Amino acid sequence: GESVGLHLPTLSVQEGDNSIINCAYSNSASDYFIWYKQESGKGPQFIIDIRSNMDKRQGQRVTVLLNKTVKHLSLQIAATQPGDSAVYFCAETYGNNRLAFGKGNQVVVIP
């Protein structure tokens, strides 16, 4: 399938290592943030979300950190696996029922 990751920042990570993907959001009024994973030829897949009244949330192998002071969001993936290779997008909403996506980061897992 064709790549969705052309000209995107790329993170190359060794299998088994931890990955950190960063995102700067624009609207200080945003109250809900989501990380999506998009594999080539597929639609975005929900990974984890966090509300603005939290600063950390953990899922299975993933952790999202939110720093509202500097409007920064990060996604940490523990023990990265080959199936984690994809483009990762952060998205924000601010009460108007629409998702505003960031530019995306390509993650390449090296076996």
Partner 1 sequence: ETGVTQSPTHLIKTRGQQVTLRCSSQSGHNTVSWYQQALGQGPQFIFQYYREEENGRGNFPPRFSGLQFPNYSSELNVNALELDDSALYLCASSRPREEAEAFFGQGTRLTVV
Q: Which residues bind partner 1 (CB under 8 A)?
A: 2, 4-8, 32, 34, 36, 41-46, 49, 89, 91, 93, 96-104
Q: Which is nearer to partner 1, 104 or 107 (CB)?
A: 104
The runs of H, that is alpha helices, within the chain are none
Q: Which is nearer to partner 1, 98 or 111 (CB)?
A: 98
CB of 17 to partner 1, least distance (A): 26
- Give 97's DSSP letter: S
* N-terminal to C-terminal alpha carbon distance within the chain: 21
Q: Which is nearer to partner 1, 43 or 111 (CB)?
A: 43
CB of 7 to partner 1, least distance (A): 5
Contacts of 34 (CB under 8 A, 6+ apart): 46, 47, 48, 49, 50, 90, 91, 92, 93, 99
